[in-house]
C-alpha cells in the first residue's frame, strides 16, 4: 500500500508518459485509489487511454477529465472531492519554449498558480509537483519557468495555514524513454549510420519511470510541505548512450545547442546548506521562517556539508555502456 491507497487522486498531465505510468502503478496497487482523475487537455490521448489501456468497464474509479491547467475554473471543477494531486502537466521541450516563450510561461508558471489557488480553495490535502534538473541554475526558458513554478509551490505553504493543503516538489533528471528524449532520436538516426552528438564530454542524470513514481509516492507519504525531493540516480555520458543504442554507427560532434548545458545539476552549492541526505534521495528544506527547524517526517536524514554539489559530471554513480544497453533494451525495437 502507498499514501494514495483508497484516496481520491488527480494527476495533471495524466495522459503523458509519466501520467500513464503512474496511473498504471496506482491501479495495480493492492488497494487502488477510490477515485483517479486523469486531467489533460489532449482529447485524443484521453480516448486512447480509455479504449486501449484503462477502460471504464474494468477501472470504474478512473475519470477522464479534459481540461487545461491554464483554466482555473476548470481545475476547480476537476478538483471537487480530491485529496491528493500530482502535477505533471508542463511544456518541457527546450527549443519549443525558446520559440514560444509566452506559451511556456502561461502553462508552466500560470498553470502552477492556477493549480495552487484551486487546491487551496477545494480542500486538497497534499500536492506534489514534478520539476527538472534544468530548474537548478537555469540557462533556458523552460528551466526558468520550472524554477518559478517550484518557488510558487514551496511558497504556497505560506497561504494554506496550519490545516490547509501542503505543497512539495520532486526534482529529477532525464526520464528514460519519455517522449522527446534522445533515445527515439538516436534510433531514427541509426538508419542513416551516423549519430549526431552535441559534445563528447556531455553528461546527464537518468531516471526510470518507476524510480520517478517511487519518489513521488515517497514525497506524498513523508512531506511536511515546502521540500524539494531529489533522487540519488546515476549519470551517463551521452556518447556512451549513443554507443549503447548503435555501436555500429559513427558519431559526429555538432556542438551544444542554444539553452543546453554541458552538465546538469540537481543540487547547487547554495541549496546544499538546506539539504538533508537519505539513503535513496535528498530533501532540500525551504528557506522559510514558517519551517521553524521542524523535523522532517522521515527523521533519519544527515545534513549535507558546506560546498556540496550534486552534478551529473561529479556524481559518484555512473552507468556503463553495458548497463545502459540493458536499461534501454525494452525501448529498442529496431
Asked whether the beta carbons of 186 and 245 are under 8 A apart, the reply is: yes
Tens of pLDDT, residues 99-113: 999 999 999 999 999
Asked if the model's pLDDT at residue 293 lies above 60, the reply is: no
125 is a domain residue: yes
Given the residues 134, 232, 237, 261, select the one marked as catalytic. 134
CATH number where 17 lies: 3.40.50.720
333 is a domain residue: no
Domain that includes residue 288, residue range: 8-173+206-232+265-308
254 is a domain residue: no
CA atoms within 13 A on the CB side of 133: 25
Tens of pLDDT, residues 128-174: 999 999 999 999 999 999 999 999 999 999 898 777 899 999 999 88
117 is a domain residue: yes
pTM over 0.85: yes
322 is a domain residue: no
Cell of 52: 486501449
State the pLDDT at residue 79: 98
257 is a domain residue: no
14 is a domain residue: yes
Q: Considering its fold, how many domains does the chain have in total?
A: 1
Could you confirm whether 134 is annotated as catalytic? yes
What span, in angstroms and rounded, lies between the C-alpha atoms of 256 and 73?
Answer: 41
Instruction: Enumerate helices (H) and strands (E) in the chain, giving the number of each.
Output: 13, 17
What span, in angstroms and rounded, lies between the C-alpha atoms of 55 and 234?
Answer: 36
256 is a domain residue: no
What span, in angstroms and rounded, lies between the C-alpha atoms of 251 and 40?
Answer: 38
Contacts of 24 (CB under 8 A, 6+ apart): 53, 54
As a whole-number percent, the residues of the chain with pLDDT over 90 amount to: 80
Amino acid at each position: 500500500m502507498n499514501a494514495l491507497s483508497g484516496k481520491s487522486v488527480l494527476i495533471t498531465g495524466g495522459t503523458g508518459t509519466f501520467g500513464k505510468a503512474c496511473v498504471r502503478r496506482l491501479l495495480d496497487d493492492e488497494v487502488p485509489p477510490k477515485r483517479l482523475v486523469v486531467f489533460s487537455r489532449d482529447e485524443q490521448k484521453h480516448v486512447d487511454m480509455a479504449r486501449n489501456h484503462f477502460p471504464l468497464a474494468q477501472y470504474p474509479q478512473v475519470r477522464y477529465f479534459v481540461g487545461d491547467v491554464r483554466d482555473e475554473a476548470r481545475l476547480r471543477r476537476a478538483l471537487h472531492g480530491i485529496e491528493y494531486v500530482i502535477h505533471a502537466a508542463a511544456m518541457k521541450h527546450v527549443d519549443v519554449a525558446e520559440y514560444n516563450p509566452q506559451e511556456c510561461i502561461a502553462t508552466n508558471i500560470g498553470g502552477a498558480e492556477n493549480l495552487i489557488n484551486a487546491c487551496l480553495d477545494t480542500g486538497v490535502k497534499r500536492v506534489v509537483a514534478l520539476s527538472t534538473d534544468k530548474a537548478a541554475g537555469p540557462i533556458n526558458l523552460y528551466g526558468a519557468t520550472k524554477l518559478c513554478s517550484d518557488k510558487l509551490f514551496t511558497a504556497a505553504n505560506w497561504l494554506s495555514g496550519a490545516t490547509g493543503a501542503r505543497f512539495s516538489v520532486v526534482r529529477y533528471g532525464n526520464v528514460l524513454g519519455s517522449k522527446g528524449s534522445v533515445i527515439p532520436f538516436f534510433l531514427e538516426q541509426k538508419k542513416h549510420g551516423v549519430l549526431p552528438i552535441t559534445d563528447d564530454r556531455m553528461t546527464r542524470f537518468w531516471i526510470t519511470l518507476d524510480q520517478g513514481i517511487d519518489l513521488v509516492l515517497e514525497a506524498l507519504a513523508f512531506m511536511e510541505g515546502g521540500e524539494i525531493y531529489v533522487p540519488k540516480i546515476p549519470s551517463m555520458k551521452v556518447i556512451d548512450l549513443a554507443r549503447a543504442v548503435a555501436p555500429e554507427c559513427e558519431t559526429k560532434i555538432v556542438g551544444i545547442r542554444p539553452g543546453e548545458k554541458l552538465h546538469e545539476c540537481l543540487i547547487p552549492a547554495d541549496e546544499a546548506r538546506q539539504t538533508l541526505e537519505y539513503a535513496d534521495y535528498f530533501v532540500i528544506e525551504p528557506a522559510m521562517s514558517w519551517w521553524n527547524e521542524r523535523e522532517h517526517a522521515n527523521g533519519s536524514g544527515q545534513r549535507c556539508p558546506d560546498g556540496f554539489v550534486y552534478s551529473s559530471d561529479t556524481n559518484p554513480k555512473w552507468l556503463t555502456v553495458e548497463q545502459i544497453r540493458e536499461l534501454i533494451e525494452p525501448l529498442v525495437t529496431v
